[in-house]
Each structure stands twice: as structure tokens, then as C-alpha cells.
Amino acid sequence: MESSVQTNGMNGDSGVKCPIVYISRVDCFSACHRLHSPKLSDEENKETFGKCNNPNGHGHNYKVEVTLRGPVNPVTGMVFNLTDLKQYIADAIMSVLDHKNIDKDVPYFKDVVSTTENVAVFIWDSMVKRLPSGMLYEIKIHE
């Protein structure tokens, strides 16, 4: 887990500056995919995606960072319970993507090219549903 602090928020009506803290949790998953767009011809796909358009696909070991942003709760001392965040990551990311063929096993990618960018969007959409409004700050993926 990683954390950082920024003091730009105000604490309610008191006018007292409230630190905004960023907490990140990192996890890893392995998955395979093929970069192929049904909107492109086979030749355009080969030209655009190169060896990543291999009909048999290819695999990656992905590292994903989920970063939350918010004030520290004065009672709990936390922005968010990391045990809960770990479970949300397991449910939204690991169980869905780890050791899967992204294109064939994840319905979202039926009509969406499984680029790293789109995997990040998929993870964002999956995580934002589980977290309090405005808390999810960033999804970062290392391929």
C-alpha cells in the first residue's frame, strides 16, 4: 500500500483545512488477449496491432494500482478500510481477470478491443460501483 497527503480541502463549515490523503493498493494478475477490432479489416488489424494481433493471442502479467482519495476519518484514522478495498479488488478484478482469456471470458470485451487502456476503463467501471461516490481517484496498469 502507498499513501500521500495533500492539504487543499476544508473540514465542513469550520474553515479548518482537512488533509486529503491518497491510498493505493497494488495487485497482480495474469491474463491473455488478442488485440483485434471488428471495425477493422484483417489487414488493418495486423498493421495496427502487429504481433499482438496473433490469432492465438498472447499473455501478460499485469500489475494494477487502485488509488482512492479522501479525507481521513477522525474516528477510524482511515480514508477507507483496506480490508474492504482488498476484497473489492478481489471481486472486481482478480476473480474476473486473473488467469482468463480477456476476450473470451469477460463479456465486456465481446465488442471492446482489450487494450490496456480499455482494461483500465473496465476496472474503473467495476470498482467505482463498489466504492463511495468520488472516492476512486485512479486506476493504473503496468503491462
- CB-CB contact of 106 with 121 (8 Å): no
Single out the catalytic residue among 32, 52, 60, 65: 52
Single out the catalytic residue among 2, 58, 99, 138: 99
Active site residue 52: yes
Active site residue 99: yes
Q: CA separation (Å) from 21 to 68, 69, 72, 118? A: 8, 6, 7, 27
Q: For 4-30, give the DSSP string.
A: EEEEEEEETTTTEEEEEEEEEEEEEEE
Active site residue 143: yes
Q: Which residues are catalytic?
A: 52, 99, 143
